[in-house]
Amino acid sequence: MRVIAISVDTPADSRNLAQKAHYTYPILSDVDTKVIDRYGITHKGAGMGGHDVARPAEFLLDRNGVVRWRNLTEDLRVRARPEDMLAAARKL
């Protein structure tokens, strides 16, 4: 299992965030929201200056890239608990 984040931020901004927060997983940049749109989690105009951003979401994908579990929320402070994600991953 691998953890990967996707953000609308530039690669430099994502790298800075990862360093400051001591994240050990990669944060991929999707400034054009192509991947974010594909997963249906674009929050149009909700970012600074009216830019599109991603809704808070977590996904578990299988080896073929098929979504097997997801957690969607409107509140960026509300995230799936690690133990819930691990329990869901064990069921895959």
DSSP state letter for 57: E
Distances in Å between the Cα of 88 and the Cα atoms of 56, 58, 61, 81 are 18, 12, 11, 11
Mean per-residue pLDDT of the chain: 87
User: Does the pTM of the predicted model rise above 0.75?
Assistant: no
Task: Enter the tokens of residue 40.
Answer: 């249906």
Taking only the tens place, the pLDDT of each residue in 40-60 is 888 888 888 888 888 888 888
Q: Which residue has the higher pLDDT, 74 or 42?
A: 42
